[in-house]
């Protein structure tokens, strides 16, 4: 595919992290050897969206006995973190793979609360990573001196619940400006066409609609006006089309073809995703974190999807999808499509719920 670069930075393979049942010895009683332990059942082969649905069901039923989960793309299976042996059978019976970990979701949420209170520094982000069972804190190149020292102290104080990483780039919304859309405030990218009350709209990034209220296509023809704009806090905007023309539910693949979008799905760590944007066109990668918080210079945005898919200014608002499912809207990040980087996306499901719109 033209302009496609697949990131291999992280495969989120869980095989090595799953506890195996090993016979530690043999107990003799009445001259008979004990019955060997039964091997764990093979997990079900699942697509990423199906794994996400199963994860939601399992995490809800397990409650405090679960500590998140992720998609093993190589094995095409769901891995669920659990805190005790009692939850292992429930996970395995549902067709997923159980993995014993130390940190509960409550403990990780507590770490996030501490970070928000003590380390809300511009140029930082944090996201819960079920693969490492920690909150991964990232600082961009603008965080130095006293700010870096403060951040390091807070993370160190969280012990094994958090780890600190450094980004070579700078976290910023990609608004230098799907398909290119723009106005007097710059250029962005169209996310997904949607329908609300029988009328055609489209979703894009909220930091785009904060800067631009009247939208035109690449040819300069007006196509829509803002209906809703949300940034910071969240990062999505709803734009109403000015013309009642056909607005297909598909994404431009920049090779003469499109990907049809039939619905929206929740992201899962380990999910393979594709991003389309007007600057760098189409690139692939993997979801590396959920519920990410990013402290942009313009304000803090929470509840984001973190990935290793590259992006650059002008890609803001563009489509993140997995197969025929809409996943996210490009928010921001660091790096570029030459050196790579990390990117953050507004979940589409949350944007649809807030606006009352539907994919269509």
230 is catalytic: no
Report the Cα–Cα distance between both ends of the chain, in Å, rounded: 26
**Residues with Cβ within 8 Å of residue 3, at least 6 apart in sequence:** 254, 255, 280, 281, 282, 283
Contact 334, 347 (CB under 8 A): no
Q: Which two tokens stand for residue 143?
A: 């965080």
Q: How many residues does the chain have?
A: 360
Q: Would the CA dihedral through 126, 130, 134, 139 be positive or negative?
A: negative
| Residue among 190, 91, 123, 112 nearest 154 (CA) | 112
Long-range contact pairs involving 241-248 (C-beta distance under 8 Å, separation at least 24): 241/199, 241/200, 241/201, 241/202, 244/199, 244/200, 245/200, 247/193, 247/200, 247/202, 248/193
319-322 and 358-359 beta bridge pairing: unpaired
Question: Most distant CA pair in the chain: distance in Å?
Answer: 88
- Distance in angstroms (rounded) separating the CA atoms of residues 304 and 125: 10
Whether 316 is catalytic: yes
Q: Does 319 qualify as catalytic in the annotation?
A: no
The partner residues of 166 in beta bridges, in order of sequence, read 139
CB burial readout 96-123, b (16+ within 10 A) else e: bbbbbbebbbebbeebbebbeeebebbb
| Contact between residue 355 and residue 228 where contact means Cβ atoms under 8 Å apart | yes
Q: Which two tokens stand for residue 248?
A: 């297909």
Which of 72, 129, 140, 235 is catalytic? The answer is 235
The residue from 72, 125, 189, 207 that is catalytic is 207
Coil vs helix vs strand at 65: helix
By annotation, the residues acting in catalysis are: 207, 235, 316
């Amino acid at each position: 595919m033209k302009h496609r670069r697949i990131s291999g930075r992280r495969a989120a393979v869980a095989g090595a992290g799953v506890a195996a049942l090993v016979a530690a010895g043999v107990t003799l009683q009445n001259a008979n050897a004990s019955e060997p332990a039964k091997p764990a059942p093979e997990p079900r082969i699942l697509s990423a969206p199906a794994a996400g649905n199963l994860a939601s069901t399992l995490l809800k039923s397990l409650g405090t006995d679960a500590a998140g989960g992720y998609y093993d793309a190589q094995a095409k299976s769901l891995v669920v973190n659990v805190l005790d042996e009692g939850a292992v059978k429930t996970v395995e019976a549902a067709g997923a793979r159980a993995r014993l970990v130390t940190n509960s979701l409550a403990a990780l949420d507590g770490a996030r609360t501490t970070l928000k209170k003590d380390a809300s520094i511009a140029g930082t982000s944090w996201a819960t990573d079920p693969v490492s069972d920690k909150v991964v804190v990232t600082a961009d190149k603008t965080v130095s001196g006293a700010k870096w020292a403060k951040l390091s102290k807070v993370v160190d104080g969280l012990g094994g619940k958090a780890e600190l990483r450094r980004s070579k780039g700078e976290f910023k919304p990609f608004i230098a400006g799907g398909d290119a859309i723009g106005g007097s405030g710059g250029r962005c990218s169209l996310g997904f066409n949607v329908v609300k009350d029988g009328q055609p709209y489209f979703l894009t990034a909220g930091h785009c609609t904060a800067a631009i209220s009247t939208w035109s296509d690449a040819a300069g023809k007006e196509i829509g006006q803002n209906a809703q704009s949300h940034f910071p806090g969240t990062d999505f905007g709803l734009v109403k089309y000015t013309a009642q023309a056909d607005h297909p539910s598909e994404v431009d693949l920049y090779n003469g073809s499109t990907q049809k979008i039939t619905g929206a799905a929740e992201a899962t760590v380990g999910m393979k995703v594709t991003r389309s944007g007007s600057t760098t066109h189409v690139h692939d990668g993997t979801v590396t974190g959920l519920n990410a918080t990013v402290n942009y210079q313009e304000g803090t945005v929470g509840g984001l999807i973190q990935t290793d898919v590259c992006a650059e200014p002008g890609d803001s608002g563009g489509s993140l999808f997995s197969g025929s499912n809409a996943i996210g809207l490009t928010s921001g990040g660091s790096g570029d499509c030459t050196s790579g980087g990390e990117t953050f996306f507004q979940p589409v499901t949350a944007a649809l719920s807030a606006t009352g719109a539907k994919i269509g």
